[in-house]
Amino acid sequence: MSTFWEVREAIAECISQFRFVEAELSAKTRSRLFGALDALRDANSAVRAYPDAITNAPSSGVLACYGFLQALYVMQDAVKCLSESLGVKFDPHANPDTAILRSARNVSVGHPALSFRHVDGRKHDASGIILHDSITEEGFAVYVYSQVDGGQFDVSYETSIDNSERVLGYQLLRLYRELIRREKSHANRLIALDLRGKFEKGAGYLCEKLFCDLRDGSRTVQARLHLKMIREQIGGMVELSGKALKGALQRTEAISVIKATRQIEKMLMTPECQEIFWVACVGLRQEFKALVEHCVCIDRSARNFLSSDWARNRAKRRAFKELQTRPVVEIVTGVLRSDYHRA
């Protein structure tokens, strides 16, 4: 498995598991993240299938060339979508290795009838055609008709993949770091709230105090006070959920428990409902404890994250080093190369 693919899988795991994704990102943003990851997976598979397509179906060589360049283009767009969704800058036009692949795709398969080349700061009409006799497992050639400097350029299969993975893989690693940073920040905010300390202690005591003989006036008064305290605790949970957790606690669940306390409060004034009252108290105890346990789990998971390999980010240091030290090889040679100058 390539380093590029390992990082893509690590990002998918982060997006699936990290709490900040659900708590802080909109449904639209989450949908874009998953869509971009799926596109990246499919495009990578299509790129890797090029040699087999040439070997097994030589007559479909032009189709394979179209698919190869389009898939490389989609990979760039998928990484761009991931980056924009997480607020990390990435412009595939800014790097010569990604920019020239976009140009190669545009002039040969994207808009072969009428495309453009940017030479000396000016835009010139261009069109291109894949040279059928040049198609091999190693790559193919395209002839460009242009107002300036027309001619042939060659596309190498191996170096196209290698340099694409180097540029895009490094960007994915930046995104991986951003995901780790944001989950750390989210975990620290959760720990600062001290959810466990606020809600775990006393939850069992409050529930047990609800169980009383409805004919005992002093005990029913006490039970009403504890119902009020339970509602206040749930209100605190909902408030924290809205302000700091941004929805980590489901408001609908909390509201249903509050409604249950209202019903039980009515039963306290009806002694003949003793058996139903007991059943209602048991149900309320279970639901209230579930809400408290949810807050405790949020607190626990935040603390576990900060002590995990995720937070220390050790697993991807090798990948950073490997991608940064990959040699740069010319992806496209020939007429298009003069349009791009490596910084």
Looking at residue 136, what is its pLDDT? 94
Half-sphere exposure of residue 198: CA atoms within 13 angstroms, side-chain side: 22
The pTM for the full model equals 0.75
Same domain, 123 and 98: yes
Number of separate domains in the chain: 2
Q: What angle do CA 264, 268, 274 make, to 5 degrees?
A: 90
Segments in the chain below pLDDT 50: 1, 328-329, 335, 338, 340-343
Domain span at residue 25 reads 3-185+309-339
Specify whether the CB–CB gap between 70 and 110 falls below 8 A: yes
Residue 341 has what pLDDT?
38
- Do 300 and 319 share a domain, yes or no? no
CA separation for the pair 195, 337 (Å, rounded): 59
**Chain position carrying tokens 């991931």:** 82
Predicted confidence at residue 343, as pLDDT, reads: 31
Do 30 and 164 lie in a common domain?
yes
CA 229, CA 206: separation in Å to the nearest integer? Answer: 8
Q: Looking at the structure, do residues 168 and 277 belong to the same domain, yes or no?
A: no
Please tell me whether residues 286 and 328 are part of one structural domain.
no
Are residues 324 and 252 part of one domain?
Answer: no
Whole-angstrom distance, CA of residue 110 vs CA of residue 72: 12
> Are residue 126 and residue 220 in the same domain, yes or no?
no
Q: Are 45 and 144 in the same domain?
A: yes
Do both 247 and 294 map to the same domain?
yes
Q: What is the pLDDT of residue 342?
A: 35
Give 1: exposed, middle or buried? Use CB within 10 Å, 0-12, 13-18, 19+: exposed
| Sign of CA pseudo-dihedral 104, 110, 113, 114 | negative
Q: How far is CA 141 from CA 63, 138, 180, 295, in A?
A: 14, 11, 42, 61
**Claim to verify: residue 79 and residue 226 sit in the same structural domain:** no
pLDDT of residue 62: 92
Are 212 and 64 found together in one domain? no
